[in-house]
Amino acid sequence: MSEVLLLSKSEIENLLKMGEVLNVVERSFKLQAQGKVVMPPKLYLELPEFAGDFRAMPAYVDGNAGIKWVSAYPNNWRHNLPSVVATIILCDPNTGCPLAIMDGTYITSMRTGAAGGIAVKYLARKDSSVIGMIGAGMQAKTQLMAIKEVLPEIKEVKVFDLRRDACVKYAEDVGTKLNIKICPVETIEEATGADIVVTTTPSRKPAVKKQHIRPGTHINAIGADAKGKQELEGHLLKGAKIVVDDIKQASHSGEINVPLSEGVIKIEDVYSTLGEIVANMKEGRKNNEELTIFDSTGLAIQDIACAKLVYEKAKGRKAPTFRTLDL
């Protein structure tokens, strides 16, 4: 017999705070760079006939083991559903028994946002105050939540999305929640005139061009998370300081995957992982003229670290929902 804690999305939303997520995700990056985690490559179950895919993401980090089963369906907005839907199973590494089964959708959004915030902390100019968002979905929200934690003096946010209604809703909802001035803009060029540019789209054609980006800009490239996806023009990466979350994942399914396959850049052009910078193994931004790019593919260690945080907080609340499993 084993007691398993069951947690819904709404329960996790009440438990998880961005400041805490930033801390555990930053620690996960550091442990990864130090070789203290176990994280096999993502396993993809591609279903092109359904315009989506599933991914299995197991990991062991900081004494915690588990797996996330996550789907990516970019057209889910038509059904009023998130494009990313996930479930996480957290297990006891001593016995293999499950400790918790929880919604992973909100955790995925929060930990990805936190990864972007950590990249801004180490790679963006310290005087950055104008943010350009390409894409106005859930990930655009948590990216800005995390950036605001590390850059509290944001003066302006410009947002572009192919769906004008999504832009307006983002400006109203997120602007009110974070108390930030957010301006919907008509073109990508307007949004990229910023100190920090964040791309959160499922694009397979590069939308951000080299001529649109000023020297000294930092870019969080978040959307490319599968083979063939690309948000940035390949030549924009050439000459930039490229930092990835994981070199194997990024080479297969991150922002660098298409430029690598086309020979625009080489693997040697990747400067480091973000974990190496967090762990002081590599230097972050060196000057105000550098163009820095963070290629985020999403790491299972981030999910498991956040799941353990949620589990510990949930156990301390009133009447947590446990179920008994016969093993």
pTM passes above 0.85: yes
The string of pLDDT tens digits covering residues 211-265 is: 999 999 999 999 988 889 999 999 999 989 999 999 999 999 999 999 999 999 9
Q: What six digits make up the tokens of 56?
A: 């299995």
pLDDT of residue 323: 67
- Segments in the chain below pLDDT 50: none
Q: Give residue 224's Cα distance to chain centre.
A: 10
Which letter, b or e, does each residue of 310-326 get, where b requires 16 or more Cβ atoms within 10 Å of its Cβ?
bbebbeeeeebeeeeee
Q: In the β-sheet with 182-184, what is the strand arrangement from edge to edge?
A: 182-184, 156-160, 130-134, 196-199, 218-221, 292-295, 241-244, 270-273
pLDDT of residue 318: 61
pLDDT of residue 225: 83
Domains and CATH numbers, the chain: 2-108+301-325 (3.30.1780.10), 113-298 (3.40.50.720)
From the list 32, 47, 34, 96, the residue with the least C-alpha distance to 298 is 32
- Contact call for residues 206 and 184 (beta carbons, < 8 A): no
pLDDT of residue 316: 79
Catalytic residues: 68
pLDDT of residue 101: 96
pLDDT of residue 320: 62
From the list 311, 230, 324, the residue with the least C-alpha distance to 63 is 311
Cα distances (angstroms) measured from residue 145 to each of 108, 151, 152, 232, 294: 14, 10, 10, 23, 17
